[in-house]
């Protein structure tokens, strides 16, 4: 299926935390960020019901309210959809509402308690789920980390009858909190900064971005660079060895994508004396 969506005067622009920003170039007759998602669908030949899921979510909670993530692990592409509502218990975009909207294509029996004080949740989207081979069996739920001195969140995995701690996230301003970012990266069980260069994690080419998030996960750490321009985004795609057709699509459409800001991330840890990137991802909205 070949879909292309162009910008309109009514479009809104949000980063991967669903905070709005102003386009950095004229957005008139440009491409919406959802086109990057559609391009990944075409490249992987994912089950066509992926498009039905996008349509159902938009119908259920509105346009421009969903963040998508495209992940690369080894040579495998995967997807995750993220949903925010900072009103917590007064939320309009709830887990229940989204699961009901996508149930015809992604049935899920994970129990949900809408009294939980979450501000965000996410769902992994895989071909075996869309094809009906398996059911959606996990929801990732995020709550605030109120003890932190910086903006921070905690992620839990919700499955049938089991809740498990997953990740911690900490957000920094690279212009004013450079030392705090370094201190956070150094405070890790997964790297030894007497051996590795911090530039292998805090890439000089990207660290002039709007926000840097450092996450602590069960088996590695992660660095996210939010608010980079299209040329920095292309640098990221090439460095992370994304499939050539995906990179070529961005290169060929660069004049139609230069109004957007991009968010990217790398999961990393030390193996031997080197930093190994286990997973990378980039993000947009639909």
What average pLDDT is seen over the chain? 97
Q: What confidence score (pLDDT) does residue 273 get?
A: 94
Token pair in block for residue 117? 């004080």
- Average pLDDT, integer, range 172-177: 98
Check residue 223 and give its pLDDT: 98
Instruction: Report how far residue 263's alpha carbon sits from residue 69's, in angstroms, rounded to the nearest whole number.
Output: 9
Average pLDDT rounded to a whole number, residues 177-204:
96
Q: What is the DSSP string of 93-125?
A: S-HHHHHHHHTTTS-B-----TTS-EEEEEEEE
Percentage of residues in the chain having pLDDT higher than 70:
100
User: What is the CB-side half-sphere exposure of residue 111 using CA atoms within 13 A?
Assistant: 6
**Cα-based distances in Å from 25 to 22, 120, 252, 278:** 9, 30, 17, 33
pTM: 0.96
3-state secondary structure of 246: helix
Reduce the DSSP state of residue 60 to 3 states and report it.
Answer: helix
Rounded mean pLDDT, 237-245: 98
Q: What pLDDT is stored for residue 161 in this prediction?
A: 84
* Mean pLDDT along residues 91-116: 96
Predicted confidence band of residue 147 (pLDDT cuts 50, 70, 90): confident
**Token pair listed for 242:** 């994304």
The pLDDT, as a whole number, for residue 69 is 98
25-53 tens-digit pLDDT:
999 999 999 999 999 999 999 999 999 99
- Mean pLDDT over 154-182 rounds to 97
SS3 49: helix
């Amino acid at each position: 299926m070949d879909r292309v969506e162009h910008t309109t005067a009514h479009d809104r622009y949000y980063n991967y935390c669903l905070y709005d920003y102003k386009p950095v170039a004229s957005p008139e007759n440009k491409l919406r960020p959802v086109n990057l998602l559609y391009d990944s669908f075409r490249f992987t030949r994912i089950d066509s019901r992926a498009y039905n899921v996008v349509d159902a979510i938009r119908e259920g909670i509105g346009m421009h309210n969903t963040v998508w993530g495209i992940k690369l692990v080894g040579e495998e592409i995967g997807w995750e959809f993220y949903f925010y509502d900072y009103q917590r218990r007064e939320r309009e975009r709830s887990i229940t509402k989204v699961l009901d909207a996508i149930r015809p294509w992604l049935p899920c029996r994970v129990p949900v308690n809408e009294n939980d004080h979450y501000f965000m949740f996410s769902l992994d989207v895989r071909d075996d789920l869309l094809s009906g081979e398996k059911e959606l069996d996990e929801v990732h739920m995020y709550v605030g980390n109120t003890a932190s001195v910086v903006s921070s969140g905690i992620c839990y995995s919700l499955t049938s009858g089991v809740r498990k701690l997953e990740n911690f996230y900490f957000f920094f301003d690279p212009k004013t909190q450079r030392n705090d970012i370094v201190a956070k990266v150094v405070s890790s069980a997964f790297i030894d900064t007497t051996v590795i260069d911090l530039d292998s994690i805090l890439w000089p080419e990207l660290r002039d971005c709007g926000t840097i998030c450092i996450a602590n996960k069960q088996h590695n750490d992660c660095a996210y660079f939010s608010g980079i321009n299209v040329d920095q985004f292309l640098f990221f795609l090439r460095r992370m060895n994304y499939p050539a057709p995906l990179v070529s699509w961005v290169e060929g459409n660069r004049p139609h994508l230069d109004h957007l800001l991009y968010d990217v991330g790398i999961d990393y840890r030390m193996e031997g004396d080197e930093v190994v990137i286990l997973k990378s991802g980039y993000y947009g909205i639909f």
